[in-house]
Copies of this chain bind each other. A is one copy, B any other.
Amino acid sequence: MRDVFIIGTGQTPVGEHWDLGLRELGASAIRAALDDAGVETVDALFVGNMLGGCVNGQENLGALLADAADLLPAEAWKVEAACASGGAVVRAAALSVAAGIHDVAVAVAVEKMTDAVSEQVTAGLATASDGDYEASHGLSFVALSALLMRRYMHETGASREDFAPFAVTAHRNAAANANAMFREPISAEDFARSPLVAAPIGVLDAAPISDGAAAVVICSREALQPHHRPVRISGVAAATDTIGLAGRADLLTLGAAQRSAEKAFAASGFAPKDMDFFEAHDAFTIITALSLEACGFAPRGEALKRAAHGCFSPGGCVPLSTFGGLKARGHPVGASGAYQIVEAAMQLRGEAGANQVPNARVALTQSVGGHGSIAVTHVLEA
């Protein structure tokens, strides 16, 4: 197994791109990443995406984007792992380089959600849950998350308002991110007053429906060039849990998130305390809390208390969602895991501008799919 490095990153702004489709968004991020890496072409392209079939009527995104980004006849196929597709596709590209089969590969993750009416997007997101035993009975993706949040509040005694710090920090961090969808700060009062989507989840607990694409160029040590500022993938692991919530012994333990984090930490030789920041899958504030606990950044049931003390704010013990996270940078669902890795690489290269975490050297990113049924966790190192 060879060492694998990120040598280029690219992204489109996250938002509502009415004039752009999967083709244009994906190709734009790929070309930006190739330009950043200073490479002309690659051996292979891996495309992360969740909703192409359900929402856009376009599969075969490997060929579509190899063609659009002028990478033919490179190997190219799509990776889907629900909301964790963006993490999984970087994993796939890294596998191909680690295997010694490719020297330089690009992973792009793209989602185009605003092509469809909201009912269609809701149905699309529900394809991440159990179609036979959850979605077909009317449980939407947000409703399932609401069940998790209710259980968390029941077991820990937390209130809805106690989840505010995650959203407030995310919006504050997004303010200086030119690629973010929501750059307006919000207050804890705004959070408390936000209308409910599926009680107890309010609008400001939830990441928005978005369009966007993010890409990384990956290579072996042998392919590194003097002009590169490589970020090493020091540890990566993926793991699964029951697709339906009903099958879990403990609703508040995201087993796949926990196991993938443990394995990624073990592979990297680092521990949670070594992380200079954490890009969490903050699709809902409850998922942020559970992901923090699964990764060892807070004991079970303690994430909100630590958040209240500023532990996850800029300058805190583990800065979180440093460019605004899924909540405020935006959540083009199958692309978000790649945005996390792009942003972490920018931090580790010292290119994060106003959002820079001082002296950032090691970071964790975690991409979570379904309601924790799949998770992909990366330890990245400057």
Contacts and interface: CB of A to CB of B under 8 A. Distances in A.
Interface of A: 1-2, 21, 23, 44-45, 50-54, 56-64, 66-67, 71-82, 84-85, 88, 91-92, 95-96, 98-101, 123-124, 126-132, 135, 237-244, 247, 255-256, 259, 369-370, 373-374
Given A73-B240, A124-B53, A62 B374 contact: yes
Given A54-B57, A73-B256, A374-B77, A63 B243 contact: yes
Contacts of A53: 50-54, 59, 80, 124, 127
B73 A59 contact: no
Nearest to A370: B60
A244 to B, nearest CB: 8
A40 to B, nearest CB: 17
A243 B132 contact: no
A95 B88 contact: no
Question: What 6 A-B pairs are tightest by C-beta distance, nearest first?
Answer: A53-B53, A99-B99, A63-B373, A60-B82, A53-B54, A1-B100
Given A57-B126, A77-B85, A77-B374, 6 more contacts: A53-B127, A73-B256, A77-B84, A92-B92, A95-B99, A95-B101
Given A53-B54, A67-B240, A78 B76 contact: no
Which residue of A63, A135, A256 has the most chain B CB atoms within 10 A of its CB atom?
A63
B81 A80 contact: no
A194 B99 CA distance: 48
A66 B255 CA distance: 14
Contact of A76 (B44, B67, B374): B374
A102 to B, nearest CB: 9
A255 B99 CA distance: 26
Given A23-B132, A53-B127, A247-B67, A62 B75 contact: no
Contacts of A135: 57
Given A95-B96, A98-B101, A370-B63, A238 B77 contact: yes
A242 B63 CA distance: 7
Contact of A128 (B44, B59, B123, B370): B59
A60 B370 CA distance: 7
A369 B52 contact: no
A369 B75 contact: no
B239 A73 contact: yes
Contacts of A58: 127, 131
Contacts of A57: 54, 123, 126-127, 131, 135
9 contacts: A23-B132, A57-B135, A58-B127, A59-B80, A62-B240, A63-B256, A73-B241, A80-B80, A92-B95
